[in-house]
A and B are shown apart, each in its own frame.
Chain A
């Protein structure tokens, strides 16, 4: 079990690292798209490569970020019913979900998309647009993204089994100390140096603890 938990920590570290790198794709995509729009309007020049790199970046963003999103419990659940059960039951259902829902999906997509990638690589498939980009890297993002997702699924599975065996803390607690919403609330409070507001911080902190139990959504 100890070895498995170590393995799970390694996977978490990988997902974390990939996620930290992938977030920059957001900014790059924004800048390229805005720059491309301005140049197109102002000078009436445009290149297919710049248009296509946008969706390459978009694909990289959400596919490579999938494992990281799972690490941060970002994939939304409907916990209307499940939320009423005990923690252990919830964890057991999640184990079922990882094994019976997540893994088959991941395996199927990798299995089905892999031939497409090799085929595109071998044939050197290019975009059908003039000046477009080569295709295999973006096709390859599909199996790579799903592999990262599956890997994170393995880690989540280990953590949940570890929890049931009493060997690790509750894996459903968010890793981050604060959600974006809590940070926003705190910042507004800080700026409004209002005693009345400050007095509410205490109450809100109680709420934060309460909210941790619930699920984090954007």
Chain B
């Protein structure tokens, strides 16, 4: 028995983890308990050095010092303030009006706003609740297919997981030891393509079954000119004008200016032009813009400005993700104040929720640290590697199997658990097989997005269920009785989008350049920031970097001489055994 245990400690420990987790007590403590239990068992059996757990405090201090993780409370706080600022409602109302009159328009509006919210608030629950309360009743009123309507809302809400500034990407970046900026840049195109796939699906449905996604009747428009016209022509003119301004500005940039910087700055100029014109028009009462054009401008500009403030500065490289998160949080506060939505109560609630989220996430990480300390000491990493490198098909075979595994686990685990437990096990193997870790991380992120949509435990579905009508009600406008949305409809509605997600994983496996193209370009053009990018997982400030050579990426927990000593001691003891 003892011999069997010693020979198979790693698999036994892994099984033990599954049992501990499924028992249903808090994940963080189950992880830690699993690590401690098998650690002591190992020491007792003479497999492991007595000093095994002595490395723990230094590991914990390494986590405290981690600059990347600091972005988690910042982005969470930003999202929580924004979700209550009324931005989502304004966006949904206005964009719904803009797209509504075309077939499938309300669904397109939902996807578009979902992507906008993903790039700003990044909170799945908030997006789904807002869309479920505002867009769903309108879609039901005009006879949208219930499965399509609920599926689109749930799926668009989960875009927050893949579109930067997503928390998942921060956690994955930390676990992979790559910079958050790289993961954000890598996620940009996949997030966009995924959004387009959603749009494509809605388009297909609306073409095959026009009744599933009808256009809004003319009388449903609330934003229109006095003469009854839509005012879209004026909006088009404004769009052309601002895009033109951006292009002209981009052409005027000096030769050799970094391309990404040019893109970001030019977009800012274009947006600035549109905003300036709309403000001028309003205050001078010029009457040049239609109501629709003005409304759209005023609704779209603040979130766009925030996106550029946060993501733009991170992409160009003038801010670290942590700083970007802090700036975004201040921006969100400013926006909430300008909309007169910021109260002490709301701020406290946001701080409270941020505190709890940070605490539970970081404690899962602490628990996972204890687990991995023991798991690596019993050579669990070698076991996993042996298990996975033996798979047929090389890189592709590995990726396919791993993705199937994560897809199945996503039915039961949510992304924080997946990121902290599964990724550290898989990443070293992927790295050894020559798989780019940013590519791998994005694949995992797209895959883990399904954990929100899997019936019956997916959170997006859960939140949609909580706000969708449970009983039949009388519609205010049409005076028709509207049937409730059943749970089955919500579950089945999510299925096509889960399939799209799987397709997207397939696309990414087939075309890695979708992720890496962005990175290569940055590196090729950005010669002067290469230095910054060369230090993985440390988006420390450029000028601080010279001052603090000890903060270099991977060495974090090993930098302490005491830690190195302990490690050596552990190795010696192991060698002796």
Contacts and interface: CB of A to CB of B under 8 A. Distances in A.
B576 interface: no
A19 B355 contact: yes
Nearest to B484: A203
Given A194-B476, A204-B466, A180 B349 contact: yes
A27 B137 CA distance: 36
A158 to B, nearest CB: 17
Nearest to A178: B349
Contacts of A80: 22, 24, 412, 457
Interface residues of A, number: 94
B355 A26 contact: yes
B464 to A, nearest CB: 11
A33 B329 CA distance: 10
Interface string B503-529: 000000000000000000000000000
Consensus secondary structure, chain B interface: helix
A55 interface: yes
Contact of B327 (A25, A37, A77, A181): A37
Contacts of B357: 74, 218
Interface string A44-59: 1010100100110011
Contact of A68 (B58, B66, B355, B417): B355
Contacts of B330: 30-31, 34
Contacts of A108: 36, 53, 56
Given A75-B28, A129-B547, A27 B355 contact: no
Q: Chain A CB within 10 Å — which of B24, B125, B327, B473 has the most? A: B24
B25 A93 contact: yes
A63 B56 CA distance: 16
A29 B29 contact: no
Contacts of B327: 34, 37-38
Contact of B471 (A70, A109, A113, A203): A203
B89 A188 contact: yes
Interface stretch (A4-12, A95-103, A162-170): A95-103
B24 A200 contact: no
Nearest to A95: B25
Interface residues of B, number: 99
Nearest to A38: B327
B168 to A, nearest CB: 13
Contacts of A54: 70, 322
Contacts of A86: none
A188 B363 CA distance: 33
Interface string B391-419: 00000000000000000000011101100
Contacts of A22: 355
Nearest to B331: A34
26 contacts: A26-B77, A26-B358, A27-B77, A34-B323, A37-B323, A48-B548, A54-B70, A58-B70, A69-B356, A72-B356, A74-B360, A80-B412, A82-B24, A83-B24, A93-B24, A104-B33, A113-B57, A116-B58, A180-B349, A184-B130, A187-B84, A188-B130, A194-B137, A199-B473, A208-B466, A218-B353
Question: Can you list the 10 inter-chain pairs with the closest CB atoms, starting with the nearest?
Answer: A97-B25, A82-B24, A33-B326, A203-B470, A101-B33, A37-B323, A75-B26, A23-B351, A74-B356, A34-B326
